[in-house]
Amino acid sequence: MSQPQVGIIMGSQSDLRVMRDAAQVLEELGVSFELTIVSAHRTPERMFDYAKAARQKGLKAIIAGAGGAAHLPGMVASLTTLPVIGVPVKSSNSIDGWDSVLSILQMPGGVPVATVALDGAKNAGILAAQIVGTFDQDVANKLETYKENLKAKVEESISAVSKNGWKA
């Protein structure tokens, strides 16, 4: 695997069932990535070291997922100038998901985190690929094809519904 362009981190292995969607779409789009566990609360020094080293080692964006009191994305954003995409995870310690969403979304001025939907790791992967696609033409081409395929699938369903109505 070539030098990773995107870092995927998450607070716990229990987040992997959600966060693997980011890995899967990055693989589809030909974006190299690394994936590891970094806990803001249980391994704060590791979080600090990861965020501080991220740009230096060539990462272009970080996807950070966490649940409950989800401080990882915001804290990482406070420690790096790389764009950070936050994935709120509905975890075992989350009341209903809103706690994770708001912990990641409601950042103070000056420290943005691009927050995707609850458990929205797939969109986090696509957004990270779009960041890489601003300077990598191969990735931009793959994104173009990806979006054409999305359109083609909707067109197929429109044809199916217009042909078969509610029985489609």
In angstroms, the first-to-last Cα distance of the chain is 43
- Secondary structure letter of residue 104 according to DSSP: H
Choose among 80, 51, 63: nearest CA to 26.
63
Check residue 89 for interaction with ligand RP5 (CB under 6 A).
yes
* Segment interacting with ligand RP5 (CB under 6 A) among 27-35, 64-72, 123-131, 143-151: 64-72
14 binds ligand RP5 per the rule CB under 6 A: yes
CB of 73 vs ligand RP5, minimal distance in Å? 10
Residue 92 sits in the site that holds ligand RP5 (CB under 6 A): yes
Return d(Cα 140, Cα 145) in angstroms, integer. Answer: 9
For ligand RP5, the nearest residue by Cβ is: 11
Nearer to ligand RP5, 16 or 140 (CB): 16
Give the DSSP per-residue string, 31-48: --EEEEE--TTT-HHHHH
Q: Which of 31, 66, 84, 128 binds ligand RP5 (CB under 6 A)?
A: 66
